[in-house]
Amino acid sequence: MALVGKQAPAFKAKAVVNGGEIVADFSLADYKGKHVILFFYPKDFTFVCPTELHAFQEKLAEFEKRNCAVIACSTDTEQSHWGWLQVDKAAGGIKGVTYPIVADTNKMISMNYDVLNGEYFADEQGNLNASAELIAYRALFLIDKDGVVQHQLINNLSLGRNVDEALRMLDALIFTQENGEVCPANWNAGKSGMSATHDGVAKYLAAN
């Protein structure tokens, strides 16, 4: 399901914020007026996941100076998030991560964003079964100040993301909103955009 151009599904859930504080009613609605990078990851205490969470932390100041919040989410419990945050980076933990980590324990957030790996179903005896472990794919959503999804990316479980690319997409969104121009292929902050007209495309291609 493509969410681009649609309102990001609202949610309220438990989360760990500021590196260790558990809150009961964390809400995406609290971030209206800010851009948001909401990213899902499969599982606490795993292997690719801590590399991603630390990579977002390393770039957190870059997102924040662009008025963008970073929020992580997985189907683990808030207690699991808290425990992982106590483990040093050198031991595979995520100690030092300060942005919110949402506990999608009932998996409804992942389902509403259509990023839940596996399907569950009832067999002929009425027993509940699942086709795979019900955890989130590596998904990322760029949500604008009005709560509209402007960009989404979904990777399979083994494929880590590029945080610089998330930052580039945020820059592109800000550029288009502020300048009324579009961003061509391989655009980066500091480069010129182009007007969405035949003349604009022709001028850009001629110059590049």
Residues annotated as part of the active site: 49
Burial class of residue 17 (count of CB atoms within 10 Å of its CB; 0-12, 13-18, 19+):
middle
Amino acid at 188: N
Helices (H), the chain: 48-58, 60-64, 78-85, 108-112, 163-179, 198-207
Note whether 51 and 160 are within 8 A (CB).
Answer: yes
Phi and psi for 72 in degrees, rounded to 5?
A: -105, 160
194 forms beta bridges with 182
Sole residue written with tokens 């998330």: 166
Note whether 94 and 121 are within 8 A (CB).
Answer: no
